[in-house]
Amino acid sequence: MAARTMKVKAVLVAVLLAVAAFMGGGSAKQAAAGTAAPSDASQIVADMGAGWNLGNQLEANANGYPSETAWGNPRITQALIDKVQAEGFKTIRIPVSYLRNIGPGPDYAIDSSWLNRVQEVVDYAYNRGMYVVINMHGDGFKTIDGSWLICDSSSQTEIKDKYQKVWQQIASRFQSYDEHLILESMNEEFDGQYGQPTQPCYSNINDYNQIFVDTVRQAGGNNSSRWLLIPGWNTNIDYTAGDYGFALPTDEYRSPSIPGDEHRIMISVHYYDPWDFTGEESGTITQWGPAATDPSKTSTWGQEDFLDGQLKKMYDRFVTKGYPVVVGEYGAIDKSSFDSASNTYRADFARTLAATAKKYGAVSIYWDNGFNGQYGFGLFDRNSHAVTQPGIISAIMSGVGGG
């Protein structure tokens, strides 16, 4: 999630296994699934269905060391993932930070116990037949202890070497996984300032994406044909679809079995507009959409027509050219303590985003930070696994055509 929302997060305050995994070990499903025929762009979007983020867990950290319980959530369990799937979600995005679990150069070795845990959590969903997205999440936030993927740093030679070696390890670990595992190059990468993109920062982001694609493709196994997900500047729609410097990476190392006119790269954006409704921690703006009853509680911008226009930009720039779009995060915080109807409008927002994404050939993945109550994004209680926002889940399923 965006750096400006870290205040929400702040409130929430083995060697043999590693060797086996690096040698291609894994479940029986992984071995069998490697022979599955890859989907084309429109098919994989349909197959991914409704998505859900396992937020504030594997990207959480304490003093720069990743810790899945550091931001107030319990240890992830198979039962939680099973509940998420039972509610109709087909895709889980698992944000992951590496930070100080990366050793020194020149090898930049990832701590084996951490990579083992990442794989274990991936398997909770992957072995159930779900699509799974994993990324490099907090490593690019200047506000996070231990961050290093900083696009306006003067140490770009070292950063790019480290980035390449870390992704080589991750891709090698997961090389036997089929197309149900999607790798995402990074998260909301930008210079930390909420203005227009700057140079050479954007050029470095483009370089990271190119390094990512080249590294994963050459890491062996199914990586040569895997779907890869890349963002532009801060996963911002305007700065990705518009003329601000985003460059699609070349994909020269992909499998020759993929038809020349078919891509295996997806474009990642996030959607939290209007921010005064979706994320601003106050009780001022609590309503959204055509059903809003109080103009004083409704934002003056960012309504349905704006949302439609934004996703159409992504459709026109990328989907029409065969590059699927993934709205990797969206949602609105709970303001029901200020307006008893708040969750109804949150559901309207979620339904509209999911439906509009589907209309324009995009996947939508709801942001859930595990926090319920005032200002929370949670749809589930991660301790009891109970559904806390059935109306929003129902709205999402309705939006994607699954309910």
155-207 pLDDT, tens per residue? 999 999 999 999 999 999 999 999 999 999 999 999 999 999 999 999 999 99
CATH code of the domain containing 118:
3.20.20.80
User: What Å distances lie between residue 390 and 45, 337, 347, 394, 397, CA to CA?
Assistant: 24, 18, 9, 6, 11
Domain of residue 209, residue span: 3-400
The dihedral through the CA atoms of 230, 236, 238, 239 has a sign that is negative
Span 208-219, mean pLDDT?
98
Predicted confidence band at 39 (pLDDT cuts at 50, 70, 90)?
low
- The pTM (predicted TM-score) of the whole model is 0.91
**H or E, element range at 46:** helix 41-48
Which listed residue (68, 87, 188, 189) is catalytic?
188
Is 329 tagged catalytic?
yes
Task: Tell me the three state secondary structure of residue 330.
Answer: strand
DSSP character string of 249-273? PP-TTS-TTS-TT---EEEEEEE--
Those residues with Cβ within 8 angstroms of residue 337's Cβ, 6 or more apart along the chain or in another chain: 283, 373, 374
- Number of domains, the chain: 1
84-127 pLDDT, tens per residue? 999 999 999 999 999 999 999 999 999 999 999 999 999 999 99
Exposure letters 335-345 (e unless 16+ CB within 10 A, then b): bbeebebbbbb
99 near 59, Cβ under 8 Å?
Answer: no
Residue 231 has pLDDT above 60, yes or no: yes
Which listed residue (59, 184, 280, 329) is catalytic?
329
337-359 pLDDT, tens per residue? 999 999 999 999 999 999 999 99
> Which residue is it, tokens 């149900």?
180
